[in-house]
């Protein structure tokens, strides 16, 4: 179980731009452990950024394979200092977020991205990602820059929706 809880909008810490990670140290390992715990504790979560837990470091955990509709993916990944180095296409997608639990909204994202990052062993990697997995990563990278999906909603009047609650 994670030591920290997900920060909820309008918590100002969600708007802070995260700093780069210089190496794998005790703090980095603690953040990775917390991110992995959240991903395992919350079955519907396909991604979480360190900033959502109050850590101001450029680390995210993603696992697009947790969405049954996403058949083309790289599975569970820790991304340290992730950076989109190229992108193509445009896709509109209905997004939600654990930090904004009451709403979903339509957001435009790149359809394909080339991503540079360090893995949990601090080995530099590059990947081409597309579709749902690329959307998830763009959403999580926005968190590292202090941007929420509600900041990117196409139209707050027509493309922001109250999430249904189920009893």
The domain that contains 98 carries what CATH number?
Answer: 3.90.45.10
Neighbours of 117 (CB within 10 A): 22
Q: What is the pLDDT of residues 58-117, one digit of tens each?
A: 999 999 999 987 888 999 999 999 999 999 999 999 999 999 999 999 999 999 999 999
Q: How many domains does the chain have?
A: 1
Could you tell me if residue 84 is inside a domain?
A: yes
pLDDT over 70 for what percent of the chain? 98
Q: Is 140 a catalytic residue?
A: yes
Question: 79: how many CB neighbours lie within 10 A of its CB?
Answer: 26
* Marked catalytic residue, from 30, 33, 111, 140: 140
86's tokens: 């190229």
Q: What is the pLDDT of residue 43?
A: 86
Q: Domain limits at 113?
A: 12-162
User: In a 3-state reduction of DSSP, which class is residue 117?
Assistant: strand
167 pLDDT more than 60: no
Query: Please, where are the H alpha helices in the chain?
Result: 26-41, 131-144, 149-152
Residue 6 in any domain: the answer is no
- 61 located within any domain: yes
Q: Please report the pLDDT score of residue 71 as a whole number.
A: 83
Question: What is the pTM for the complete model shown?
Answer: 0.95
Domain assignment present for residue 2? The answer is: no
Residue 1 belongs to some domain of the structure: no
Asked, for residue 167, whether it belongs to a domain, the answer is: no
């Amino acid at each position: 179980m994670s030591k920290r809880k997900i920060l909820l909008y309008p918590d100002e810490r969600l708007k802070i731009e995260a700093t780069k990670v210089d190496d794998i140290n005790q703090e980095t390992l603690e953040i990775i452990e917390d991110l992995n715990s959240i991903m395992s504790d919350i079955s519907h979560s396909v991604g979480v950024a360190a900033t959502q837990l109050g850590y101001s470091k450029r680390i995210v955990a993603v696992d697009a394979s947790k969405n049954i509709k996403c058949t083309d993916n790289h599975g569970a990944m820790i991304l340290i200092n992730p950076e989109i180095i190229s992108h193509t296409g445009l896709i509109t997608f209905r997004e939600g977020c654990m930090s904004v639990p009451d709403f979903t909204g339509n957001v435009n994202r790149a359809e394909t991205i080339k991503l540079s990052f360090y893995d949990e062993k601090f080995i530099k990697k590059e990947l081409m990602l597309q579709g749902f997995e690329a959307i998830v990563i763009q959403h999580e990278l926005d968190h590292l820059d202090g941007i929420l999906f509600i900041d990117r909603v196409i139209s707050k009047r027509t493309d922001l929706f109250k999430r249904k609650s189920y009893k």
